[in-house]
Structure 1
Amino acid sequence: MVDMAAFKEPIIILTAAAIVVPLFHRFKISPVLGFILCGILLGPSGLGGLAIQDPWLNAFTIQDRASIAMMAEMGIVFLLFAIGLELSFERLNMMRKVVFGLGSLQLGLSALAIFSVCYFFLGTTATGAAVIGLALSLSSTAVVLQTLAEQKRLTSPTGRGAFGILLFQDLAVVPVLFAVSMLAPNRMGLGLGGLLQSLAVAVLAVALTIIIGRIVLRPLFRQAARTRSPEIFMAACLLVVIATALGSAAAGLSMALGAFLAGLLLAETEYRREVEATIEPFKGLLLGVFLVSVGMSVDIGKILERPLEIAGAIIGLIAVKAIVVAALGPSFGIKRPAALKAGLILGPGGEFAFVVLGLATSLSVLPADQADFALLVAAITMCLIPLLARYGMAGANSKLPIETEELDLAQQASQAGSPHVIVAGYGRVGVVAVELLAEQNIPYVAVDSDIERVRRARKAGKKVYLGDASRGEFLRACGIDRARALVVTMDGGSAVDQVVTAAHLEQPNLPIVARSRDAAHAVHLYSLGVREAVPETLEASLQVGEAILVEAGVPMGNILVAIHEKRANMRASLLEASTSATPSERMRVLRDQHLKENS
């Protein structure tokens, strides 16, 4: 007999995702806010609390946050894995000043400011104030990065500054937890020797993850890619994410940190884009579970009991952390407008506040009522992140001097976030296209589905990735939303058609240059919406004609003009054929074109 109760939480989450995301997308509201509101509505302080009087509500609500805790944590794990894929050790090294400089100062000064308020003005004990300061100084990696990704601001100065601080916070979680343990009464913690020993184990675990990853990951994904089976490749992706997360947890680190390291290692390989497209659905859904769990932490009854205190704490927390980041940002190369906007979205609390305060309560370091109040403030402020990102950052733009992020972005032309050209197909035509782009210093992302071809290109130092360009999710992983153009160079009419169709669905206005077999195929591609279709047969005839004119002694200038005019006439004829009202008219235009070519 099937236990239907075991499927209740997954069904509720899937239903919420199916309803919330399209609805909020239609009204241009962040789905992050929608998932959090679902958690508030369906959780213990919403309809779930009424299930005691009305048992029929049990089937539609979640009474216990712990029942979805593991799925929620996996959402953070997949998010950090995806973020690792967007980086590399080289880029991380370039960010070390922001990560370890700005990140450490933000954490330390914010914790000190919160400690001072709690200790001197609220009468909290020194130990309790220290724990609350450390917990609330942490920000939400999951919500902030998801919100920035939705706004396409991850690679902006605001996004880079926010990510650097968040990365340091994730690295600092383990020392913070040890510090809380050491504050326990009667030295219930590990002591200094235990702390140093555990830190050594953590460093060793990170080193082993990097070493083993460099040895194992490429051969693993090479074998998975050779099978040409999406299921096997997906299994390899899930294995890497879960195995590295569990290995990190076994060493006393956060699961998210292990997944982040795995993403960093894969970012340097040719499988990066395909892996990113494969894990995207898992990341989005599991992250939705985490956001629902955040909403479930908001106790509406407690808010109504102490509304002014909670409102004051919310405003104070966001203001303190925003001021700290805005004041420190310019010293680390982040201009004040971008620093202030980063501070606004980092001002709210984060998911690790639940971990830190939960540990402090279990060790009797912090009274339960104070921990509950701090948790409530953290949960409510996390709900405000999408609103702060949308309205607070817009308000900062209107009140600050014009010092736009675009000026900074122009200096980051070599980074992955800059406009680039996507080259689909790395055969003989694709190789020429990539070489021309590289000679003109135009960023590109080349993709091909042949693993051996990709391996040879990577050995030659080319930025070529394995993947199927006919999949919309893969094109999104390649950054089609910020691409200058798409070049489709594959040999095969149906394959070209599939890529063009997928790209047109993702970005209808994207300029597409496509290789076609002949004039008829070019007409078909124009009807699909490509900007330029290049028929191999026509180009071959033009090359033959150019060679004949050269041998006949015609001046090169006249030859170039003649070839250019001939190509323009051919293109006009093909465009006319693509817009013909009936198939018979289209065939007539093609027949006329064929007669011209042979005359």
Structure 2
Amino acid sequence: MEHGSTLLRDIVVYLAAAVVLVPLFVRFKLGAVLGYLAAGILIGPSVLGLVGNAEQTLQFAEFGIVLLLFVIGLELQPSRLWALRRDIFGLGLAQVLLCGLALTGLLLLLTSLTWEAALVVGLPLGLSSTALVMQLLNERQLAATPFGERSFAMLLFQDLSIVPMVTVVAALSRAPVANPEPGWMMAAKTVGALALLVLIGRYALPRLFRIIGSLGAREAFVAAALLCVMGSALLMASLGLSMALGAFVAGVMLAESPYRHALETDIEPFRGLMLGLFFIAIGMSLDLAVVAANGGLVIALVVGVLAVKATVIATLARSFGTDWRRAIKMGLLLAQGGEFGFVLFAEAERGLLITHQAAQLFGAVVTLSMALTPLLFRLAGRLLAVPDDGSGSRDGPESAGTAGHGGHVVLVGSGRVGQVIAQMLRARGQAITAIDLDAELIDITARFGNTVFWGDGTRLDILRTAGIETASALVFAIDGRWDPKAVLEPIQTEWPDLPIIARAFDRTHNIALRQAGVEQVVRETLDGAVAMGREVLTALGTPDTMIDAIEAEYRRRDLERLDLQLCSGDIMSGADTIIRGALDLDEAPDPASLGEIPPA
């Protein structure tokens, strides 16, 4: 019971610190990440001491990075990942090697470390913080731009390089090991684990989500999404590999699945909370006593790390086609130390290559460099005045620049009506993001080469994940009655200028949609019923001119009655306009007079 109350108290402290400091830092445009770091420093052992055991908190909070990489993987289709191969394996490899070796030389100059110790510290310092960089890119909506994709390509190769770095630390270790594992064995396990994840993600997971989606059990779907992430992380962790890399591979395998938007929506709340906790734990791990005792060295190392990495990364980015202003901005964005540095410093300490005090010192360097990055990135944005959209630059591969959803139509409902609408839009060359809750229907449409994403399109979070912010129109083609006010009010509040076209189930639903502010409403049975009435009249031998006159008169009266009902709110309004007997119509009427419909 005492342990439970202590845990509850710690949770309250974490939440209170985040609630107080994060909005404050956002208000002064310093960024949420810096707010989380400041909250961790404040409540950590070095200041108020409200919570302790930062290492244990950090181990738990690393799941935030796992969830982040899974969400990133969901947004990276294999085709886009292939388009980034030059940046990943060319720019990424050069960045890891050059930054690691340059920082190794810096440590040999500034410290008394041996070359082995300097190497096992310099290589980890060459890594950047995936969590911090992606958070900053997402806050500024740069993740889907060529600038963001090139930055992410380097981060992805850094995650791949963790295994070789662990091998280097193990090879240089001075600690006696009973049965050391050869490097080729670790490499073989890595390839095997990745291949297994690819097979599971390609064949097993889509079937699992299809079964759960067809049952309509949303809680089970959320549980399955978390199981997917944690299972892939566990598989990699059991082999001593990067959990985040496993989650990323699982995400990429599901990137072309129709359940992608629903998965991203359900994972997002957990990702946000865990990432916030991760940054708090990073702040808690900062030992101010170590910083105070070695102030000059810490400052020199922080400045040296930031300067060396920014220079190397900017030069490499420029050599890969990025203009100088964006290259400098990219260098400052990736100049900090990364969260995996803490793991590799601990491995170096266990290998008797560095002391515990040295591990604490370099951990403080990483934390301070992370804390300075949001400020440096914001300053670079002001001084360099680089447009955020990446337009006019040569960043990244040409085919990767099509990541955005700009100008697409979000189509909710892909049944009988939705499929017709989709074909007409495609005939114009219009991009579509279709959403439906019927898993069987999604499979059927896939056989005809159409992609429909699984999810409830009346939910605001699903629509946001589907890219409604950049949509040119929103179409509701779902069957049956649905509450227009409950569904449309939050959408119209968030995006008041977004055109909305809706399918009405019947006359009363039509009126409700119009009253909710939807100007383009289509009654699903009206045109079909009119067409069928025309066929009946034709079968009875009615002349075409008379049929045209009857249809025009019916539509005029129907629209007049609908306007009266809309204005009065009474379904009985305009009842006298209903056709109840034969009309005195000429067989050759004036088309202009009969076709004219007075304005409402």
Q: Same fold (TM over 0.5)?
A: yes
Range 408-417 or range 340-349, more displaced = 408-417
Q: 1:215 aligns with which of 192, 200, 203?
A: 203
1:500 aligns with 2:501: no
Contact 1:526 / 1:575 at 8 angstroms: preserved in 2?
no
Residue matched to 1:512: 500
Distance in 2, matches of 1:147 and 1:462, equals 35
Distance in 1, matches of 2:374 and 2:565, equals 49
Match of 1:149 among 121, 138, 146: 138
- CA offsets 1:258-308 (integer angstroms, 9 cap, x no match): 111111111121111111111111111111111111111223344444545
Deviation at 1:576, TM superposition (A): 9.9
- 1:545 shift after superposition: 11
Cα RMSD (Å) of the superposition?
A: 3.7
Q: Deviations over 1:447-472 (max 9, x none)?
A: 00111111111222212111011222
Higher deviation after alignment, 361-370 or 155-164: 361-370
Note the alpha carbon deviations across 1:517-557, whole angstroms, 9 max, x for none.
Answer: 355534433443435333336655887899999x8579xxx
| Aligned residue type for 2:155 | L
CA contact (8 A) 1:43 1:296 kept: yes
**Aligned runs of 1:457-496 on 2, under 5 Å?**
457-494=445-482
Distance 1:257 1:398, change over 3 A: closer
Output the amino acid matched with 2:43.
L
Question: What is the alpha-carbon distance in structure 2 between the residues aligned to residue 111 and residue 189 of structure 1?
Answer: 30
**Residue in structure 1 matching 2:234, options 234, 237, 246:** 246
| TM-score after normalising by structure 1 | 0.85
1:154 Cα offset (Å): 0.6
CA offsets per residue over residues 7-58 of structure 1, 9 Å max, x none? 333333344455555555555553222221110110111200xxxxxxxxxx
2:35 maps to 1:40: no
1:355 counterpart = 2:334: no
- Measured against aligned partners, the alpha-carbon deviations of 1:316-342 in whole angstroms (never above 9, x if no partner) come to 322222222222224434444333322
Structure 2 equivalent of residue 140 of structure 1: 129
The answer as to 2:78 corresponding to 1:89 is: yes
Question: In 2, are the aligned partners of 1:182 and 1:188 still within 8 Å (CA)?
Answer: no
Measure the CA separation in 1 of the matches of 2:98 and 2:422: 48
Distance 2:178 2:127 in 1: 21
Cα distance in 2 for partners of 1:178, 1:407 equals 33
Cross-structure match for 1:53: none
Question: Quick check: 2:30–2:375 contact (8 Å CA) kept in 1?
Answer: no
Residue in 2 that maps onto 1:202: 190
Distance 1:344 1:273, change over 3 A: same
Instruction: Call closer, same or farther: CA 1:529–1:102 in 2, change over 3 Å.
Output: farther
Q: Structure 1: how far apart are the matches of 2:577 and 2:361?
A: 78
Distance 1:91 1:180 in 2: 33
Can you list the C-alpha shifts for 1:502-530, whole angstroms capped at 9, x where unaligned? 43344333222222235553443344343
Instruction: Check 1:257–1:510 CA distance in 2 against 1; reply closer, same or farther (3 A cut).
Output: same
SS in 1 for 2:453: strand
Secondary structure, aligned partner of 1:533? strand
For residue 6 of structure 1, what is the amino acid of its counterpart? L
- Flag the 1:12–1:84 CA change in 2: closer, same or farther, 3 A: same
Q: CA deviation at 1:168?
A: 0.3
Query: What displacement does 1:480 show?
Result: 1.8
Q: CA deviation at 1:385?
A: 3.0
Map of 1:185 onto structure 2 = 174
Stretches of structure 1 lacking an aligned partner (at least 5 in a row): 49-60
Superposed CA offset, 1:396-439 (max 9, x none): 22699x96459989976743554422111001221122223323
Q: Counterpart amino acid of 2:65?
A: I
CA–CA distance in structure 1, aligned partners of residues 205 and 519 of structure 2: 39
Cα distance in 2 for partners of 1:518, 1:408 equals: 50
Q: Measure, in 2, the Cα distance between the counterparts of 1:424 and 1:133.
A: 52
Deviates most, 532-541 or 309-318: 532-541
Identity %: 36
Number of residues paired by the alignment? Answer: 573
The 5 A counterparts of 1:314-353 are 314-353=302-341
Secondary structure of 1:47's aligned partner: coil
Q: Which residue of 1 is the match for residue 248 of structure 2? A: 260
The amino acid across from 2:123 in the alignment is L
- Deviating more after overlay: 209-218 vs 504-513: 504-513
Please, which runs of 5 or more residues in structure 2 have no aligned partner? 580-593
1:311 aligns with 2:312: no
Q: Aligned partners of 1:332, 1:495: CA distance in 2, in Å?
A: 53
